[in-house]
Amino acid sequence: MPELPEVETVVRGLRTPLIGHKVESMWYDWANTIHSPHPAEFAARIAGQTFRAVNRRAKYILCELDVDTLIIHLKMTGRLYVVPDDALSDADPWVHFRLQLDQGHQLRFSDARKFGKVYLTDDVNKITSKLGPEPLEDDFTVDVLRERLAGRQKTIKALLLDQTFIAGVGNIYADEALHRAGIHPLRGAHTLTGEEVARLHATIRAALSAGIDYEGATLNWYRKPDGTSGESQKHFYAYGREGQPCTTCGHPIEKIRVAQRGTHFCPVCQPLSSNQSLR
């Protein structure tokens, strides 16, 4: 599933082709894509509204319109792109939601697995109120992370995946941040020392920033709005590198399951003692 860097890259790629353009009509062929409101109301409300800004909250894409906000969650296989009406794309066979724009262009939402969702709302908070802090914002400080970790009886990997704890981090960048910080993914969150919390704070931000710099990780379905791939996967320290040598110590990267997710780490650089694990 696209994480914060991938979604941020999509947002940046949509701003130029979307902002200032008016919605003329809506088309869909899979009702479950439209979370709310009812498709008929959705179509009636969005027609005539103009895109004013495109931003992000966690893994949600927020398209500010004249009155409402169009919210899109890509889920596992979602792709968004703006093209001329007659343009053909390799992602077109899986388009299940489309907005007809002025000047002969369309915003297409391709989603092979059909898990993606679109929302139209006049109150973004209704959708995003339970999300945790944005890890790249200035107000996400070491003290904030320390306070949120205090007393938490979960493994640190599971906690990083919890979108109510911190917004936008998923399986890839949790592994990358923990590896950079030298923290085993099975560590109990409450066992982290003050120094480790500070280190983890820095590496969460570093891993996510690197992901944005390399325009996301193209491992499966993710593509930028122009159809090209991201490069982040070429620069991973741990994720997807099972059996390959750790770039720090040379020991093979190992893979286990934590919180039902494949988890990559170096047992030498990320040691675990018996009193630090929840297992």
The pair phi, psi for residue 144, each rounded to 5°, is -65, -45
Helix (H) or strand (E) segment spanning residue 86: none
CA gap 267, 238 in Å, rounded: 11
CA gap 89, 165 in Å, rounded: 37
Catalytic sites, residue numbers: 2-3, 59, 261
Beta bridge mates, 258: 261
* 186: DSSP letter: T
109 token code pair: 């939402």
CB atoms within 10 A of CB 276: 16
The residues, ordered by sequence, that sit 6+ positions from 175 with a Cβ below 8 Å of its Cβ are 157, 185, 238, 239, 263, 264, 265
- Show the beta-strand stretches assigned E in the chain: 23-28, 34-36, 53-57, 60-64, 69-73, 78-84, 95-101, 105-111, 117-121, 254-258, 261-265
Instruction: Judge whether 108 and 38 are in contact, CB under 8 Å.
Output: no
The pair phi, psi for residue 54, each rounded to 5°, is -130, 120
**For the chain, first and last CA: distance in Å?**
27
